[in-house]
């Protein structure tokens, strides 16, 4: 018996028009008889008062106006990496995927292999190595430095020394205690591409971990009233205490203000701030909320404070993927950022299903996909950096 | 790289917008929020379209699912049932209820399409004749057409509806003309 809702809807439409075949009638009858809820739904469709409200609703919709609104929005070209980053608010859709179906749990400790071709039960094609420490630094005069090419030391115009060593960027300035703060701040920009992450120590001693496809804009040295930086994407902050200069992070219109604390900000979709230590203030559109450790705030027009899954929020910084009730699209999106992939789906994709599990971010793509295939029953084909997910 | 798709964005929008709004409206009980959610979801779909199989069924089910999830989040954001969720963080809306709402949106969309496919004149005459019980002559006078036109339109309307809505249900859905039959 078919329980495909579209098929049932089709049968009910045919029933209303009196064009059901005998076999179809049987299928529909079985569906109606299956439980009280189905029967009630079936009867409600034929209730005139209900139907009238429905028809009124349809009649009130202004499709032209709605389409105009949507087509005015900037749409990123499909297939480019940037499209992933600016998913827009409704991509929050996938953040909460109900119905945890199959669970999977695995912790990768297997050493890396360099086999270019893989063929397991679930995965075929070439393998892809995990992401690595990489980033591009843009100095205040516009010069750029590729941080994946070994150690380096540069001097900024204000005398700040910038050193890079194996995945770490450090800002040092020997500011004298009596020296007046700079009147004009010099900004640098750290950009981490797909398949990258990078660790940065700001001039005040604050540590920042930047995730793949993220950008941080910050002054080489801070002024004396505040310490403000600008974030796109995701970063984890360990802010050095300084009661006289609050530390502020601005991400997509939301400002997070702290004195000294540890917290994560994810702004790939709705800006989500998770507090690990201390407390932070989240400010958005003249509203603000104070967060305590173990809480997170999601900004979707309003600021929503809720209990956080701490392990999930900072798993990336500790080198793990950590999924809880995440849908396949959300999971693939995370993998795409770290392995630099484009993803194509084929077949009947179970968008509503959620999966659990954790995996080290150090392993090759094939290992992650093999386990994921086991849990989701999907198979994966890798061609260069394109992954086809087949259900 | 630019992908080529079977359906244009604007065609997909016109095809699915109304039913998706209806679905969101059932879940949220608020028209404005429902339209917002659908517009956001559709815009997001366009941005990640390359990740969705270029098939009607896949797109439809993707849109329904993302709207279901977005409505769920709106519900949480608006602190609707806040207490409920705090007490039962694992509880989500019964899957079957949501599916039945989706079925209703699909069916009602189909019915609405049938009704609006009738020409305006036809709809007006149907409404006056079958619901308000006006005589053909009175309708003709009111709409400034000949009695013959009224008769033909009635015939035409019945013909158009035949095979799309059964006679027993015609009455039910004719009621729906009340609001939009006469502009």
pLDDT by residue (tens digit) across A108-161? 233 333 446 776 667 888 888 888 888 899 998 888 888 877 777 888 888 888
* Cβ–Cβ below 8 Å for A56 and B165: no
Burial B3-28 (b: 16+ CB within 10 A, else e): eeeeeebeebbeebbbbbbbbbbbbb
Start and end residues for every CATH 3.55.50.30 domain found in chain A: 320-390
Q: What torsion do the CA atoms of B98, B103, B106, B110 make, to the nearest 10 degrees?
A: -150
Between B160 and A85, the higher pLDDT residue: B160
Ranges of chain A with pLDDT below 50: 1-2, 76-115
In this prediction the pTM is: 0.49
Residues whose CB is less than 8 angstroms from the CB of residue B165 and which lie 6 or more positions away in sequence, other chains included: A16, A17, B111, B114, B173
pLDDT reported for residue A246: 92
User: pLDDT category, B70, cuts 50, 70, 90?
Assistant: confident
CA distance B6 to chain A (A): 14
* Cβ–Cβ below 8 Å for A9 and B96: no
pLDDT reported for residue A176: 54
Start and end residues for every CATH 2.60.120.1440 domain found in chain A: 133-313
Average pLDDT, chain B: 74
Closest partner residue to A73 (CB to CB) among B43, B48, B93 is B43
What does the alpha-carbon distance between residue A165 and residue A149 come to, in Å, rounded to a whole number? Answer: 9
Would you mind telling me the total number of residues written for chain A in this entry? 391
CATH of region A133-313: 2.60.120.1440
pLDDT reported for residue B130: 64
What does the alpha-carbon distance between residue A235 and residue A263 come to, in Å, rounded to a whole number? Answer: 9
* Cβ–Cβ below 8 Å for B70 and A75: no
Q: Quick one: which H or E segment has residue A296?
A: strand A295-300
Q: Domain A320-390 is in which class?
A: alpha beta
* Cβ–Cβ below 8 Å for A91 and B44: yes
* Local structure of A187: helix, strand or coil: strand
Closest partner residue to B108 (CB to CB) among A17, A54, A83 is A54
């Amino acid at each position: 018996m078919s329980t495909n809702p579209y098929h049932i809807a089709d049968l009910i439409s045919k029933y209303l028009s009196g064009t059901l075949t005998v076999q179809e009638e049987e299928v529909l009858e079985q569906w109606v008889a299956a439980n009280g809820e189905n029967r009630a739904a079936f009867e409600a469709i034929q209730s005139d008062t209900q139907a009238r409200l429905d028809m009124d609703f349809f009649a009130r919709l202004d499709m032209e106006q709605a389409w105009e609104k949507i087509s005015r929005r900037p749409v990123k070209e499909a297939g480019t990496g940037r499209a992933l980053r600016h998913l827009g608010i409704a991509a929050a859709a996938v953040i909460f995927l109900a119905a945890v179906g199959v669970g999977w749990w695995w912790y990768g400790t297997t050493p890396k292999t360099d086999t270019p071709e893989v063929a397991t039960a679930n995965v075929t094609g070439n393998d892809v190595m995990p992401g690595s420490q990489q980033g591009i630094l843009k100095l205040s005069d516009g010069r750029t430095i590729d941080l994946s090419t070994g150690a380096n030391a540069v001097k900024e115009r204000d005398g700040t020394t910038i050193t890079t060593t194996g995945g770490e960027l450090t800002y040092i300035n020997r500011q004298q205690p009596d020296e007046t703060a700079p009147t004009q701040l010099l900004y640098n920009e750290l950009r981490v591409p797909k398949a990258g992450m990078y660790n940065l120590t700001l001039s005040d001693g604050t540590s920042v971990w930047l995730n793949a496809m993220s950008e941080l804009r910050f002054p080489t040295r801070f002024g004396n009233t505040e310490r403000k930086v600008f974030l796109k994407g995701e970063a984890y902050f360990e802010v050095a205490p300084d009661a006289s200069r609050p530390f502020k992070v601005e991400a997509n219109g939301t400002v997070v203000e702290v004195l000294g604390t540890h917290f994560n900000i994810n702004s790939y979709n709705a800006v989500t701030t998770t507090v690990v230590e201390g407390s932070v203030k989240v400010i958005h559109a003249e509203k603000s909320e104070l967060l305590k450790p173990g809480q997170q705030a999601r900004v979707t027009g309003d600021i929503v404070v809720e209990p956080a899954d701490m392990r999930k929020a900072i798993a990336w910084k500790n080198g793990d993927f950590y999924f809880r009730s995440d849908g396949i699209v959300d999971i693939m999106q995370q993998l795409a950022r770290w392995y630099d992939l484009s993803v194509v789906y084929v077949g009947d994709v179970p968008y509503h299903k959620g999966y659990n599990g954790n995996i080290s971010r150090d392993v090759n793509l094939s290992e992650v996909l093999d386990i994921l295939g086991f849990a989701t029953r999907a198979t994966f084909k890798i061609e260069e950096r394109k992954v086809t997910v087949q259900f | 790289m630019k992908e080529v798709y079977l359906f244009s964005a604007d065609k997909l929008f016109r095809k699915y917008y109304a039913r998706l709004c209806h679905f969101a409206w059932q879940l949220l009980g608020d028209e404005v929020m429902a339209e917002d959610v659908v517009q956001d979801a559709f815009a997001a779909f366009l941005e990640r379209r390359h990740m969705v199989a270029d098939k009607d069924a896949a797109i439809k089910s993707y849109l329904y699912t993302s709207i279901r999830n977005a409505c769920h989040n709106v519900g949480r954001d608006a602190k609707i049932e806040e207490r409920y969720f705090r007490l039962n963080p694992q509880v989500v809306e019964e899957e079957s209820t949501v599916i039945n709402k989706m079925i209703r949106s699909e069916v009602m969309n189909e019915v609405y399409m049938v009704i609006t496919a009738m020409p305006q004149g036809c709809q007006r005459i149907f409404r006056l004749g079958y619901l308000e019980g006006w005589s053909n002559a009175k309708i003709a006078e009111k709409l400034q057409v000949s009695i013959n036109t009224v008769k033909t339109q009635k015939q035409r309307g019945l013909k158009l509806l035949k095979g799309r809505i059964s006679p027993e249900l015609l009455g039910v859905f004719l009621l729906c003309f009340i609001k939009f039959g006469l502009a």
